[in-house]
């Protein structure tokens, strides 16, 4: 069965405006106007590579739509939606809440469509139209909390799709695997006390948000054990990441036995990203994909929906994304021309400091395991 793919040109029209990376430009402070880090090109170039490489012919296009108020309000407060609505109507748009997450006039409808694209991918997978699906969306979502946008995110696309799967489609248990290099704090916070949603975030230790995503953040109340964080040291490459997948992520998902797996797929752990310091290669991202698909095949007939998050190198991210989509489709159209350069650098093998973090997480999970499903008699 085929892999679904959702993208809409309007995602390139989400306007993060002129900026100096993430600061407002300010000539007096030496901040020459440039683009925001989360500009359209990186994701647009990934989409264009999917088309130009011919991989698009092996994907089933999933049409997008805008998420409704009702869908957004399952995870966000009315105040947050109202603030985005108000600012979206301003002549020059506004900010999602933290001052580094700008959007242009009319940005509400684009943010709605990002969430709606992930919802539609969930529906396509649940309906069995496609085996699995990838939503290449802007703006991203995983930092957005109930009451605010954050870290370039307006609405939490993944959380909205998870709640749709549960409340509308009756899916009982969902595992969210977040391999964006930053902590998936928003998604974690929304399901922190929920025993039916496992959130696993693998990220660079203490990058963004600051002091978020430590090993001891393990969920609370009935959700104790159902949040897992793997904060890897800077310089971690494919070896360290795959060690974490094999020792923590795959066993935790297998033990949880989800009915659906949703991935927050960022490519900012890539070895050439400006917003983190990791060494992952396109082959690494393909290997993450293989592991997620394999454990989903064991648990839930391979039902996997991936939602794009961060990743900020416009020339490298497209090849990381293509590698993931090639792994999903089983069709190889192109090698990553950057692979020799990146793999020629050091940092790819598992290092002791990385193994120590993974061992710490393994010990924590042994103490507080995710709740396995209650078997109905």
151 binds, among Zn ion, ligand 3YP, none (CB under 5 to 8 A by kind): ligand 3YP
The answer to whether 178 contacts ligand 3YP (rule: CB under 6 A) is no
Q: What residues numbered 318-377 form the site for ligand 3YP, per CB under 6 A?
A: none
Question: Under 8 Å CB-to-CB from 266, ≥6 apart: which residues?
Answer: 140, 142, 178, 179, 180, 181, 182, 308, 309, 310, 311
366 CB burial (10 A radius; 0-12, 13-18, 19+):
exposed
Shortest distance in whole angstroms from residue 212 CB to ligand 3YP: 11
Nearest distance, CB of residue 22 and ligand 3YP, angstroms:
5
36 is catalytic: no
22 binds, options Zn ion, ligand 3YP, none, Cβ within 5 to 8 A by partner type: ligand 3YP
Q: Does 268 bind ligand 3YP (CB under 6 A)?
A: yes
Count of residues near ligand 3YP by CB under 6 A: 13
Q: Which residue has the tokens 């090849």?
A: 319
Which residues share a beta bridge with 202?
A: 230
Among residues 8, 143, 164, 243, the one annotated as catalytic is: 143
Cβ distance to Zn ion smaller for residue 180 or 283: 180
- Subset of 186-225 contacting ligand 3YP (CB under 6 A): 208
- Give 195 or 310: the residue with its C-beta nearer to Zn ion: 310
Q: Is the Cα dihedral 68, 74, 79, 83 positive or negative?
A: negative
Q: To the nearest whole angstrom, how small is the minimum distance from the Cβ of residue 330 to Zn ion? A: 28
Q: Is 180 in the site for ligand 3YP (CB under 6 A)?
A: yes
Give yes or no for a contact between 284 and 319, defined as CB atoms under 8 angstroms apart.
no
Asked if 259 touches ligand 3YP (CB under 6 A), the answer is: no
State phi, psi for 302 to the nearest 5 degrees. Answer: 75, 20
Are the CB atoms for 365 and 232 separated by under 8 Å?
no
For binding to Zn ion (CB under 5 A), which residues are involved? 180, 182, 266, 268, 310
Q: What angle do CA 92, 137, 13 make, to 5 degrees?
A: 30
Indicate the residue among 19 and 62 with the shorter CB distance to Zn ion: 19
Helix-strand-coil percent breakdown of the chain, rounded to 5? Answer: 40, 15, 45
- Identify the helix (H) or strand (E) that includes residue 4: strand 3-6
> In this chain, which of 4, 151, 231, 270 binds ligand 3YP, going by CB under 6 A?
151
Per CB under 6 A, does 163 bind ligand 3YP? Answer: no
273, interface contact from ligand 3YP, Zn ion, none, CB < 5-8 Å by kind = none
Q: Which two tokens stand for residue 146?
A: 């109930």
Torsion angle in degrees (nearest 10) through CA of 199, 201, 206, 210: -40
26 — phi, psi (to 5°)? -160, 90
Nearer to ligand 3YP, 156 or 329 (CB): 156
Shortest distance in whole angstroms from residue 266 CB to Zn ion: 4
**Binding positions for ligand 3YP, 64-103, rule CB under 6 A:** 100
Annotated catalytic residues are: 143
Binding-site ranges for ligand 3YP (CB under 6 A): 22, 100, 143, 151-152, 180, 182, 208, 266, 268, 275, 309-310
């Amino acid at each position: 069965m085929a892999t679904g793919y959702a993208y809409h040109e309007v995602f390139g029209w989400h306007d993060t405006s002129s900026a100096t990376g993430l600061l407002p430009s300010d000539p007096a402070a030496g901040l020459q106007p440039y683009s925001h880090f989360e500009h359209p090109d990186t994701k647009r170039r990934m989409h264009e590579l999917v088309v130009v490489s011919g991989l698009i012919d092996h994907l089933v296009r999933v049409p997008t739509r805008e998420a409704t108020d009702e869908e957004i309000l399952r995870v966000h407060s009315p105040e947050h939606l109202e603030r985005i609505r108000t600012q979206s109507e301003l002549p020059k748009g506004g900010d999602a809440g933290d001052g580094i997450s700008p959007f242009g006039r009319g940005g509400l409808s684009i943010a709605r469509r990002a969430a709606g694209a992930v919802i539609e991918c969930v529906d396509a997978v649940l309906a069995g139209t496609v085996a699995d699906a990838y939503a290449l969306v802007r703006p991203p979502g995983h930092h957005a909390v109930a009451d605010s946008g954050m870290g370039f995110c307006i609405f939490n696309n993944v959380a909205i799709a998870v709640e749709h799967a549960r409340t509308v489609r009756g899916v009982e248990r969902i595992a969210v695997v977040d391999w964006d290099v930053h902590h998936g704090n928003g998604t974690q916070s929304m399901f922190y006390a929920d025993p039916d949603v496992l959130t696993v975030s693998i990220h660079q230790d203490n990058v963004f948000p600051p002091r978020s995503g430590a090993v001891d953040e393990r969920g609370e109340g009935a959700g104790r054990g159902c949040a897992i964080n793997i904060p890897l040291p800077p310089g971690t490459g494919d070896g360290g990441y795959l060690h974490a997948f094999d020792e923590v992520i795959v066993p935790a998902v297998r033990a949880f036995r989800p009915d659906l797996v949703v991935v927050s797929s960022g490519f900012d752990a890539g070895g050439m990203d400006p917003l983190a310091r990791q060494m992952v290669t396109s082959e690494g991202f393909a290997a993450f994909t293989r592991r997620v698909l394999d454990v989903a095949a064991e648990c839930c007939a391979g039902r996997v929906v991936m939602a794009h998050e961060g990743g900020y190198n416009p020339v490298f991210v497209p090849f990381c994304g293509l590698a993931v989509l090639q792994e999903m489709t089983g069709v190889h159209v192109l090698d990553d021309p950057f692979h020799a350069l990146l793999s020629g650098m050091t940092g790819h093998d598992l290092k002791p400091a990385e193994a120590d973090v993974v061992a710490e997480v393994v010990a924590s999970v042994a103490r507080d395991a995710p709740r396995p499903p209650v078997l109905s008699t």
